[in-house]
Amino acid sequence: MGCDGGTIPKRHELVKGPKKVEKVDKSAELAAKWKYCALSQEKLRRPIVACELGRLYNKDAIIEYLLDKTAERPNSEAVTHIRGIKDIKELNLTDNPEWEGEGRNAKGDRYDEIYCGMFICPVVGLEMNGKHRFCYLQTCGCVFSDRALKEVKTEICHKCGDPFKDEDIVVLNGTKEEIQKLKVKMEERRAKTKTKKSKKSKAAEAVSTPAETKEEVQPPPVNVTGRKSQENGEENSQSGG
């Protein structure tokens, strides 16, 4: 049996298999998170900020979003948890001396183009390019590699000297599991803040209420001197009569 022209079809021509799915280079996709704003998808440029979930943004993109949340944006789901400017932290980043800009590769070396990071860890010198875990401190905004924080144990920031606790460390561009943990941590922190504000407002009301009540119940002042003089006048008139 043959087809037109007397040719015999091969098996792969008769049996249609599943369509090939184009594989996404996960490494390149991860590296892109360290070079592009999670909201605008524009290249990251100072000032750069991070949210409580560890995503990176251009500060001007976040400000534009906060000024007009109704505008349509391609990645608006990446910022729905940001309620105001207090929910982000401006990062104190360390420049990579090896970074010469996007056009530095005259040869077009794809590896260098993807993995050469603009910033590095100020302690151990690792590049912030997606190949290594990086974190930032919510207290001061300084950024370090996870290795530096583990190898050099301290409660004072390596870069600026501000004190911090383990709970102040936020993983940047973490895994789904890490992001979920950060989300739970964020919600717990916000709930505590809300409770503290509620207690303060109730305490303020409790302090102001007794003073107001006292002022309302307090009787008007009595002129004791005038009353005595009036009584003396009546006694004199009676004795004169």
Residue 240 has pLDDT above 60, yes or no: no
Residue 202: inside a domain: no
Count: domains in the chain: 1
Residue 29: inside a domain: yes
Residue 219: inside a domain: no
Residue 211: inside a domain: no
CATH number (domain holding residue 169):
3.30.40.10
DSSP code string of the chain: ---TTSPPPPHHHHS--PPPPPPP-HHHHHHHTTTB-TTT-SBP-SSEEEETT--EEEHHHHHHHHH-TTS--TTGGGSTT--SGGGEEE-B-EE-TT---GGG-SS--HHHHHH--SEE-TTT--B-SSSS-EEEETTT-BEEEHHHHHHS--SB-TTT--B--GGGEEETT--HHHHHHHHHHHHHHHHHHHHHHHHHHHHHHHHHHHHHHHHHHSPPP--HHHHHHHHHHHHHHHHH-
Residue 220: inside a domain: no
* Comparison of pLDDT for 73 and 93, the residue scoring more: 93
In the structure, what pLDDT confidence band is assigned to residue 125 with cuts at 50, 70 and 90?
very high
Residue 35 has pLDDT above 60, yes or no: yes
pLDDT in tens, 75-110: 889 999 999 999 999 999 999 998 887 655 444 555
pLDDT in tens, 179-220: 999 999 999 999 998 888 877 777 777 776 655 544 555 566
Residue 221: inside a domain: no
Residue 126: inside a domain: yes
Residue 185: inside a domain: yes
Instruction: Determine the structural domain holding residue 68 and report its residue range.
Output: 23-102+113-197
